[in-house]
Amino acid sequence: MVDKDKIRRLLKQYFDTTGEITISDEGLVSCNGYVILRQGTKHERLPVAFDRVDGNFYCTNNHLTTLEGAPNSVSGDFACYNNQLTFLKHAPNSVGGDFYCGSNDLTTLEGAPKSVIGMFECSLNRLTTLEGAPNSVGGDFLCTLNKLTSLEGLPVVPGTLYLSYSPTLPLLRCLLAKKVVTTKPENSTVQDILNQYAGQGEAGAFECGAELATAGFKENARW
């Protein structure tokens, strides 16, 4: 039998919350306000399991190695940056605000939400591709300071795509974004060419690739 009093004690001990808290017979917590796991609790997993949070959910700056127990849905922002995560399994299925998973040890985005209404940020990880990224993102997409060898998995980005430039990284998939910003200003030529065709997707790939190759960026002129 679920000990709801124990769950309430754990919530009070390790979390800051606002709004009404309900606990299901299965022991899952729902909250109609924000939920914050206090920083420095040194937990490897969340002390309690959540179902729904109608607000922001933050579990940043801790020692989490798994998102087991994270809410199934979050209507606001979800942030799990600066932990020790190597995968996103158990992340929410949908996020109504922004999703932040930067500064971890992620080698894959598998398990990320299928839909993020706001921006998606996965910088400062060990990603080599973007496979597993959300199917839809409503804002910017930040993937700087990874080890990308491919942009496979990048969805359509109605905002700005931020990424670290590499002379061997295929960049034509960047055209799925409305705007592109690379982290090395000395490669502004590449950025300028990409932004001439940004938002055109595959339709602009041929002409963009030709311009990149002519400018001396043949390795980047690949989808």
> How many CB atoms are located within 10 Å of the residue 195 CB?
18
pLDDT tens for each residue of 62-93: 999 999 999 999 999 999 999 999 999 999 99
Residue 182 CB contacts under 8 Å (≥ 6 apart), including other chains: 163, 164, 165, 190, 191
- Residues 147-178 have pLDDT tens digits of 999 999 999 999 999 999 999 999 999 999 99
Name the CA dihedral angle for 5, 11, 14, 15, rounded to a multiple of 10 degrees.
-170
- Residue 179 pLDDT > 90, yes or no? yes
CA torsion sign for 173, 176, 181, 183 is: negative
Q: Which amino acid is at 217?
A: F
Mean pLDDT confidence for 54-65: 97
Is it the case that residue 186 has pLDDT exceeding 70? Answer: no
Distance between CA atoms of residues 176 and 134, nearest Å: 14
* Nearest-angstrom CA–CA distance, 141 and 127: 14
Residues 86-115: tens digit of each pLDDT:
999 999 999 999 999 999 999 999 999 999
Paired with 164 in beta bridges are: none
Q: Look at residues 89, 53, 49, 88 and name the one whose alpha carbon lies nearest to residue 74.
A: 53
